[in-house]
Chain A
Amino acid sequence: MKRFLVVLVLFFLFAMPAGVVYAQGESGQGTGQAAAAQAVPAVDTGDTAWLIVATALVMLMTPGLAFFYGGMVGKKNVLGILMQCFTILCLVSVQWVLFGYSLSFGPGKGFWGGFEWLGLKGVGLAPYADYAATIPHQLFMAFQMMFAIITPALIIGAFAERMKFSAFVLFTILWATFVYDPVCHWVWGIGGWLRELGALDFAGGTVVHINAGIAAFMTAIFIGKRKGTNSHSILPHNLPFTILGTALLWFGWFGFNAGSSLGANGIAVNAFVVTNTAAATAGMTWALLDWIFNKKPTMLGMATGAVAGLVAITPAAGFVSAVSSILIGIFVSIFCYFAVAYIKPKFGYDDALDVFGVHCVGGIWGALATGLFASKAVNPAGADGLFFGNPKQFLIQLIATAVTVAYSFVASFIIYKVIDIVIKVRVKEKDEIVGLDLTQHHEKAYTILE
């Protein structure tokens, strides 16, 4: 415990002065920016209003995810899940302001972006045209912050019910800094090499879903199975929570995808429509698969399908038509169903809440489907995919996917191993039996006696 606190404090002590010192120069920068503002389009009130709302919508997805996951774990571990989601919300919000945003979006060709926006120095209220020409730069920063928050939160489903809270905190802060920030920079940042290669990722298929999904896969393998899973599966303790979480995710996803147009415009509406269509199609498809293979359609299956559909449409939302989104939705449920119901039991890794099976598999399908279905008729600023006569785009999507998978797996593994050596990642067997709520937080979610 002491060692953990020392590491955490050192980390922030190192980061804090950098942020504060750099932030001092802000007023000076502001005047320079005002002069440059004449060349830059002015803030558009409609775009700004929509993006403020979209940012709030994406924020809601992390608590939504907490309930989505929380309902699926045993009742002795539900607070542990909620606590991890809220911890990430708090931790990454601060990390993003101090240095995360600069590392991710600071212009530069390196591993990370530049360091010039540490502590949001120079990230003002005028637009930064290279990212979003009609909304304040700080709003773009806040919108991206919510993506940086939900991505590590997705991972927790894989190591649910058995990771030490202190190890989780370290993993989150290191993963956000050394995995999310660089990958985000490569795909979305100015000078990022995958961006310059022409990879299309409208709202985070590679950066968010594949990235988190493969890290989840790695942790599930190395932390080992939950106790007792050899003899029986651990049943969801509160499926209505999970369905409530699904609804919040779906709702928030309108901000995630339609907000990623960075304006109140036609592309936003296209993203909104295809997002809803893909989620609906995938939800129906999963229920149908359940009906065919297990005799009854299930609520958890339909919710899982809907989330898989949302994942798959994420990279494609700004580039594909509604009909394409139906195909994306049908196939994502088929692929994810196969991964969750057949591949996982066959190989025996305990990806507790199917982060790999839904987010990584769905994310890869989405990234590749973007290379198949993207159409300039939908978005002239995008590209045509394989089915619209441009096989090269499919190849680029394949490269971006492979790079994300490889980098995220290796980097996450190193982070995981370092933490395991320093403080041990997994809770003691006795703590696992008693549950994380009591052993990690000295609280419980439900009482039996008054």
Chain B
Amino acid sequence: MKLIIAIIQPDRLESVKQELYKEDVNLITVNEVLGHGRQMGVAEVYRGIKEMGNLLRKIRLEIAVNEDYVEKTIRAIIKGAQTGETGDGKIFVLDLVECVRIRTEERGGVAIG
């Protein structure tokens, strides 16, 4: 089991979701977060005082998948989020130790899908 965390541009969320549905990945968690990588923030000016490079709005996706879905999910996120510009985002893949479905108390791979 893997936990896939992706940071993407807010305006790409809809297309990423569509690509994930095509691959039959339906269970995702979405957060609005702040951050910046190589693409710095946009300068803000308040009454003539400049604030450089502030944090930008991003979307953070969390998707737990079984091994055979990992590559499909990564491809889907790339397809939906890639524009070729700086700031398209990142995908992190982590090992997932356990998964429990609260309703039925099922554990492991069956609980994920």
Contacts and interface: CB of A to CB of B under 8 A. Distances in A.
Contacts of A354: 47
Contacts of B47: 300-301, 304, 340-341, 354
A442 interface: no
Interface in A307-357: 337, 340-342, 345, 354
A305 B39 CA distance: 33
Most buried by A among B49, B50, B51: B49
Interface string B33-70: 00000000000111111110000000000000000000
B45 A232 contact: no
Given A232-B51, A233-B51, A235-B51, A296 B46 contact: no
A230 interface: no
Interface of chain A: mostly helix, strand, loop or mixed: helix
Contacts of A304: 47
B48 A236 contact: no
Contacts of B45: 290, 294, 296, 298, 301
A233 B48 CA distance: 12
A293 interface: yes
Interface residues of A, number: 19
A298 B51 contact: no
Nearest to B44: A235
B46 A293 contact: no
Contacts of A290: 45, 48
B49 A300 contact: no
A2 to B, nearest CB: 40
A364 B41 CA distance: 39
Contacts of A294: 45, 48, 50
Interface in A391-423: none
B94 to A, nearest CB: 26
A296 B46 CA distance: 11
A162 B15 CA distance: 46
Nearest to A341: B48
A298 B46 contact: yes
A294 B43 CA distance: 10
A337 B48 contact: yes
Interface string A223-257: 00000000011011000000000000000000000
Contacts of B46: 233, 235-236, 298, 300
Nearest to B45: A294
Contacts of A345: 49
Interface in B1-51: 44-51
Contacts of B48: 289-290, 293-294, 301, 337, 340-342
A401 to B, nearest CB: 24
B43 to A, nearest CB: 8
A389 B63 CA distance: 79
Contacts of A236: 46
A289 B47 CA distance: 10
B89 to A, nearest CB: 25
B49 A341 contact: yes
Most buried by A among B45, B46, B48: B48
Most buried by A among B44, B46, B47, B49: B47
A235 B34 CA distance: 16
28 contacts: A232-B51, A233-B46, A233-B49, A233-B51, A235-B44, A235-B46, A235-B51, A236-B46, A289-B48, A290-B45, A290-B48, A293-B48, A294-B45, A294-B50, A296-B45, A300-B46, A300-B47, A301-B45, A301-B47, A304-B47, A340-B47, A340-B48, A341-B47, A341-B48, A341-B49, A342-B48, A345-B49, A354-B47
Interface of B: 44-51
Given A233-B49, A236-B46, A298-B45, 16 more contacts: A235-B46, A235-B51, A289-B48, A290-B45, A290-B48, A293-B48, A294-B50, A296-B45, A300-B46, A300-B47, A301-B45, A301-B48, A304-B47, A341-B49, A342-B48, A345-B49
Instruction: For the complex of A and B, list the 7 residue pairs with the smallest distance between their C-beta atoms, beginning with the closest.
Output: A341-B48, A294-B45, A340-B47, A233-B49, A300-B46, A304-B47, A298-B45
